[in-house]
Amino acid sequence: MNFAGASILSVDQFERADIEKIFAVADKMEPYAKRQLVTRVLEGAILGNMFFEPSTRTRVSFGCAFNLLGGEVRETTGFKSSAIAKGESLYDTARVLSGYSDVICMRHPESGSVGEFAAASRVPVVNGGDGANEHPSQALLDLYTIQKEVGRSLDGLRIAMIGDLKFGRTVHSLIRLLKLYRNIHVVLVSPAELSMPESYIEEMRLAGHSVEVSNELTDGIGSVDIVYSTRIQEERFESQEEADLYRGRFRLNQQIYTKYCQPNTVIMHPLPRDSRSGANELDNDLNQNPNLAIFRQADNGVLVRMALFALILDVADQVDKSAREVNWYHRRT
């Protein structure tokens, strides 16, 4: 694809070569993301960061990524702080804010809303999560993390996706991105009521991959490279009581990991994990497990989002030209 000026709305936009290009640029971002070098390649550019649902990682890492490339960030968080609360349409909001920004990132609770906004925007828009639909930059950073953690080609990967596969937009985007590789084996572990939408399973099978469906955690995690746990997306349920039916159903802890997983199985989660006592889908007793990749995964979000901005604003080959060392104390790891 031609990245320059493109919106990133869905993983369906990507071919395998596009992903390789993003990852190659992300690799080059490491000294900047670690604050060992600074670059001003996006000096003068403005990111409009619009988050109408709670977010820690996506919002802050998009903002950091833009700042680390030398650009400025303007944030809108929550409907109450936007004129949408006064009845302004997404169309008008997009027309106005795209006059103030060079690229916009947006999270919104409705499926398809970011695409609707992008259609009216005068600048590229990156989908930071639209309802239960898609979270393309998360899927890219997940795939980038998987590649780094397993240290080999993604062809032949075996992965278990666990939890709320009905409403979890991260797994919706990830499974569709994995479709681009060869001979993928996916185990889908969820309560029957929260299973992966059939269309995604069909797409995988039609592309020649194998998909196993289970509602037993211990069935699914024994012979995979990656266990990818997800939170029950309680904000998508009709009532709290309904969400409570499923919370805590699939808990991975160190004891279960030791008993059922291969010794090198990598543990991932898009985060936030729900660490309340009734949930704990990924127990804190895994925190010292060297295969717990969740914080490396979150760190990788900055690299991948820097790469997306550099490609969309067409400066990927200029980043190093303005590089210089930082002159303040910084961690070297």
Active site residues: 57-58, 86, 107, 135
Instruction: Count the Cβ atoms, other than its own, within 10 Å of residue 180.
Output: 17
Tell me which residue of 111, 145, 141, 116 sits closest to 129, measured CA to CA.
111
The CB-of-326 to ligand CP minimum distance in angstroms stands at 27
Nearer to ligand CP, 102 or 142 (CB): 142
Task: Between 129 and 131, name the residue whose CB sits nearer to ligand CP.
Answer: 129
Q: How far is the CB of 297 from ligand CP (least distance, A)?
A: 9
Q: Which H or E element spans position 199?
A: helix 198-206
Minimum CB distance to ligand CP smaller for 58 or for 93: 58
Question: Can you read off the two tokens belonging to residue 143?
Answer: 């795939």
Q: How far is the CB of 183 from ligand CP (least distance, A)?
A: 28
> Minimum distance between the CB of residue 129 and ligand CP, rounded to whole angstroms?
6
β-strand partners of 106: 50, 127
Binding site for ligand CP (CB under 6 A): 55-59, 129, 138, 270-272
Q: Where are any strands of DSSP class E within the chain?
A: 37-38, 46-51, 72-77, 103-108, 125-130, 158-162, 185-189, 210-214, 226-229, 266-268, 324-325
Nearer to ligand CP, 52 or 70 (CB): 52
* 99 burial type by CB count under 10 A (0-12 exposed, 13-18 middle, 19+ buried): exposed
Q: Output 84 or 174, the one with its CB closest to ligand CP.
A: 174
Q: How far is Cα 192 from Cα 173, in angstroms, rounded to an integer? A: 20
Rg of the chain over Cα atoms, rounded to whole angstroms, equals 20
Smallest separation (angstroms) from ligand CP to the CB of 207: 26
Residue closer to ligand CP by CB (options 71, 270) is 270
The distance of closest approach from Cβ of residue 11 to ligand CP in the complex, given in angstroms and rounded to an integer, is 15
Q: Pick between residue 3 and residue 62 the one whose CB is nearest to ligand CP.
A: 62
Instruction: Using the CB atoms, write b or e for 39-53: b if 16+ within 10 Å.
Output: bebbeebbbbbbbbb
Q: Minimum Å distance from CB 57 to ligand CP?
A: 4
Can you give the three-state secondary structure of 62-106, one letter per residue? HHHHHHHCCCEEEEEECHHHCHHHHCCCHHHHHHHHCCCCCEEEE
* Residue 88: how many other CB atoms lie within 10 Å: 12
30 beta partners? none
- CB proximity list for 309: less than 8 A, separation 6 or greater: 42, 47, 65, 66, 69, 71, 103
Helices 136-150, 169-178: inter-axial angle, 10-degree rounding: 60
